[in-house]
Amino acid sequence: MTADTNGNRMADAQSTTDPISPQNIKESTSHLDPSKLIINLTKTPKPLPDPAQLAFGQTFSDHMLVMSYEPNSGWSTPVLQPYQPLQLDPASSCFQYCPNLFEGMKAYLGPDGEPRLFRPNLNMKRMKTSAERVALPPIDADALLTLIKKLVAIEKRWIPRLPGYSLYLRPTMIGTRPSLGVAASNHAMIYVICCPTGPYFGAGTKKISLYAVYDSVRSWPGGTGGYKLGLNYAPTFEPQRRASQKGYNQVLWLLGEEHKITEAGAMNFFIVVKRKDGDLDLITPPLDGTILPGVTRDSVLLLAKSHSREMPLPGLSGSQRLHAHERTLTMRDLQAFGENLLEAFCVGTAAIVAPVDRIGYDDKDIILPSNTPVANALHDRIEAIQEGRFEWENWSVKCE
């Protein structure tokens, strides 16, 4: 059995076209085995880019990971190889029915100069769930994480040694079944590519504006909005273009007749509301299947719950408690909070925490106060944990 330069393994036997089901994943098929990794390093390493010139997702590192799955043989030997184009059959399912998914995670340099990942087990778990939703072959999350750590260790020189900079990783899985039949893809490829990246909105905390959209929806009950599937994103580009033309940065996605708030762009949405007792409520919509379960979202909720007199979040008073809620939020609620609506912000791996300055809704703007102490505190604490400057719950994992 041989691996070609794309990590594709030539199948030994005629491949079956049966859809994937636990019964026909044969005993003899091989598992993804990180100990067999073939490392094929580039002979022409690229010059490192000037960090100040980095635009998100446009510069790629020297190497990529590739592995593929065939129904008769299972997972190929994983290969770490120079960054290069893929070779795919034009009939591959990924071009037709879009059984494609991805993850977004970042590697940071710790104070010891060693690379770290932020809660990477959550990304692997989510990737596995996404694969199940589109009936792709099953992923071994632990094996994949071992391989990703190896890739990061090899690409260490690509992590800029500057605060707020990191190496963005894009693990991707595509269906490669070479047949036009409308059926699950029992052939697949996983690859991981890396881009050095800086603070998402440039230096300083630029605020973002949102445009509330309800005539197009991003997700719906029973749909796929809760999974990181490629097919969720193309339908957002036209509404996003409309929002940009009206002068807003991102779409605030609403759902249903009550205009329930779901997410903003490809980020989870939070608000901070002042309570009668002087404490603060931190509110985000619940994971009802229409919301992507973000790693940053989960981290924000847990950090808000940990905020206390003994260990306050940076810049916040420990005597003012933060009450975290996962609760349905409508546009009417947002308007009703009035002066008590203190902050709104969006969270995700790329931006970490991005404060919102206004929300356009039915030709009116809801204006948010310019001070965003809660958003800033959460941003700074998460960044400190990611960069290994603040130890918290083993969230920062070294890549040995």
Ligand X SMILES: *Cc1c(COP(=O)(O)O)cnc(C)c1O
Binding region for ligand X (CB under 6 A)? 104, 228, 263, 266-268, 292, 294-297, 348-349
Nearer to ligand X, 118 or 361 (CB): 118
Nearer to ligand X, 79 or 195 (CB): 195
Write out the DSSP string of 281-292: EEEE---SSSS-
CB atoms within 10 A of CB 25: 15
- Report the nearest approach of ligand X to the CB of residue 263 (Å): 5
* Alpha helices for 246-372 (secondary structure H): 295-306, 331-337
Fill in the amino acid letter for 125: K
Three-state DSSP state, 77: coil
User: Tell me, what DSSP letter sits at residue 27?
Assistant: T
Nearer to ligand X, 69 or 269 (CB): 269
- Report the nearest approach of ligand X to the CB of residue 154 (Å): 24
Nearer to ligand X, 34 or 104 (CB): 104
Nearer to ligand X, 51 or 104 (CB): 104
Nearer to ligand X, 104 or 256 (CB): 104
- Report the nearest approach of ligand X to the CB of residue 333 (Å): 20
Three-state DSSP state, 276: coil
Of 90, 86, 42, 83, give the one whose Cα is nearest residue 68. 86
Closest residue to ligand X, judged by C-beta, is 294
Q: What is the phi-psi region of residue 393: left when phi exceeds 0, alpha when psi lies from -120 to 50, beta otherwise?
A: left
Q: List residues bridging with 341 in a β-sheet.
A: 273
Residue with tokens 């059995």: 1
At what angle are helices 295-306 and 373-386 packed, to 10 degrees? 110
C-beta separation of 75 from 67 below 8 A: yes
Read off the tokens for 397. 């994992």
- Report the nearest approach of ligand X to the CB of residue 319 (Å): 30
C-beta separation of 56 from 64 below 8 A: no
- Report the nearest approach of ligand X to the CB of residue 139 (Å): 17
- Report the nearest approach of ligand X to the CB of residue 89 (Å): 28
Nearer to ligand X, 74 or 171 (CB): 171
CA atoms of 75 and 36, how far apart (whole Å) = 11
CA atoms of 172 and 169, how far apart (whole Å) = 10
Nearer to ligand X, 188 or 354 (CB): 354
Q: For strand 341-348 and strand 352-361, is the pairing parallel, antiparallel, or unpaired?
A: antiparallel
Nearer to ligand X, 7 or 120 (CB): 120
Nearer to ligand X, 263 or 387 (CB): 263
Read off the tokens for 28. 């003899």
Q: For strand 63-70 and strand 79-82, is the pairing parallel, antiparallel, or unpaired?
A: antiparallel
C-beta separation of 274 from 249 below 8 A: no
Q: For strand 115-118 and strand 105-109, is the pairing parallel, antiparallel, or unpaired?
A: antiparallel
- Report the nearest approach of ligand X to the CB of residue 235 (Å): 12
- Report the nearest approach of ligand X to the CB of residue 294 (Å): 3
- Report the nearest approach of ligand X to the CB of residue 91 (Å): 28
- Report the nearest approach of ligand X to the CB of residue 376 (Å): 18
